[in-house]
């Protein structure tokens, strides 16, 4: 019998440990172990990898990650009520699961992880976006992680993978696609969760590129992208006016028409513009 078979069904875990879902913690649980296994498989080959999981809750995805052969799972959970349920998983898997209680926005788990590291999470959506931005903007690249497999509200997932000219295209797409390959690997209806949220969800898988896709200084790229999209309806010659002198010339030198709007400009062109802005 495998370890996963010795553990009770998740509905039973929830009943035994009194894990009624709390809205304040964004708790929408995945109780179907076939589904959590499917999500865990999207995280790539876990054999020989440490996995950082944020917000394991009753442990459905955690079980999937361990069953997929993760060398070690480090899970950070804010809700202390979940800890006894997670301890049962840890003993079924010979201590391959370590749980840290606390807020993932405040804990630095890196000293407990050994590369190669993959990240997987079904998180509250606001926490997920904040962590994604942090993971995409470390002081040094490549980052600590090889891949991120994260659940988002469908609309946020679409913003991460958006292409120029679409409504969803903006800062998040540029940030994600500059240093990672990002794709939506699974769509989930509200009914997949207990209790069901109001919106549909999607799992995004991001693989870190060894180097950014095009050269650019991160701070300058961030500045031009932010200025362009803060006034996305305006032509770039107006929205970027304050960024550098001779902006129209710099736009042209980067191959961008000054009359274009940010949402039409590709990542490659934004990086070219950041390089032009960096020139004296």
104 or 225: CB nearest ligand SAM = 104
Q: How many CB atoms lie within 10 A of CB 7?
A: 19
Number of residues that bind ligand SAM (CB under 6 A): 24
- 161: contact with ligand SAM by CB under 6 A: no
217 is in an annotated binding site: no
3 state DSSP class of 191: helix
82 or 182: CB nearest ligand SAM = 82
25 or 244: CB nearest ligand SAM = 25
103 or 155: CB nearest ligand SAM = 103
- 64: contact with ligand SAM by CB under 6 A: no
- 26: contact with ligand SAM by CB under 6 A: yes
Closest CA to 118 of 63, 67, 32, 45: 45
78 or 250: CB nearest ligand SAM = 78
DSSP category for residue 9: P
Closest CA to 62 of 75, 78, 44, 45: 75
Closest CA to 202 of 250, 153, 237: 153
28 is in an annotated binding site: yes
**Where would I find the beta strands (DSSP E) of 10-155?**
50-54, 72-77, 97-101, 117-121, 147-153
State in angstroms the smallest separation of the CB of 123 from ligand SAM.
5
86 and 110 Cβ atoms separated by less than 8 Å: no
Site for ligand SAM in 169-208 (CB under 6 A): none
**β-strand 50-54 against 117-121: which pairing, if any?**
parallel
- 12: contact with ligand SAM by CB under 6 A: no
128 or 228: CB nearest ligand SAM = 128
172 and 206 Cβ atoms separated by less than 8 Å: no
Radius of gyration of the chain (CA): 21
Contact stretch for ligand SAM (CB under 6 A) within 23-31, 161-169, 173-181, 232-240? 23-31
Angle at 101 between CA 197 and CA 99, to 5 degrees: 95
45 is in an annotated binding site: no
- 33: contact with ligand SAM by CB under 6 A: no
State in angstroms the smallest separation of the CB of 29 from ligand SAM.
4
- 105: contact with ligand SAM by CB under 6 A: yes
Site for ligand SAM in 113-142 (CB under 6 A): 122-124, 127
What the block records as the tokens of 79 is 């809700």
Given the rule CB under 6 A, which residues bind ligand SAM?
Answer: 25-30, 54-57, 60-61, 76-79, 82, 103-105, 122-124, 127
Residue ranges of the binding site: 28, 30, 55, 77, 103, 122
């Amino acid at each position: 019998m495998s370890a996963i078979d010795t553990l009770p069904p998740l509905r039973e875990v929830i009943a035994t440990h009194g894990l009624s879902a709390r809205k304040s913690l964004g708790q929408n649980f995945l109780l179907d172990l076939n589904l959590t296994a499917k999500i865990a498989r999207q995280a790539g080959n876990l054999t020989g990898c440490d996995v950082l999981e944020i917000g394991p809750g009753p442990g459905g995805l955690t079980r999937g990650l361990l069953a997929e052969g993760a060398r070690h799972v480090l899970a950070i959970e804010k809700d202390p009520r979940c800890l006894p349920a997670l301890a049962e998983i840890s003993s079924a898997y010979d201590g391959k699961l370590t749980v840290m209680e606390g807020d993932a926005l405040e804990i630095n788990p890196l000293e407990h992880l050994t590369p190669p590291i993959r990240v997987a999470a079904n998180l509250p959506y606001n926490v997920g976006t904040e962590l994604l931005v942090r993971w995409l903007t470390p002081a040094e690249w490549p980052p600590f992680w090889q891949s991120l497999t994260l659940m988002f509200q469908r609309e946020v997932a679409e913003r991460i993978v958006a292409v120029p000219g679409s409504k969803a295209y903006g800062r998040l797409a540029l940030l994600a696609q500059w240093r990672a390959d990002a794709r939506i690997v699974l769509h989930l209806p509200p009914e997949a969760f207990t209790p069901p949220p109001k919106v549909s969800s999607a799992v995004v898988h991001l693989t870190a590129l060894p180097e950014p896709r095009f050269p650019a200084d991160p701070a300058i790229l961030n500045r031009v992208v932010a200025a362009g999209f803060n006034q996305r309806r305006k032509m770039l010659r107006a929205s970027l006016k304050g960024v550098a002198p001779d902006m129209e010339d710099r736009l042209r030198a980067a191959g961008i028409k000054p009359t274009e709007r940010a949402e039409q400009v590709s990542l490659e062109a934004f990086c070219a513009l950041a390089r032009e802005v960096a020139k004296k």
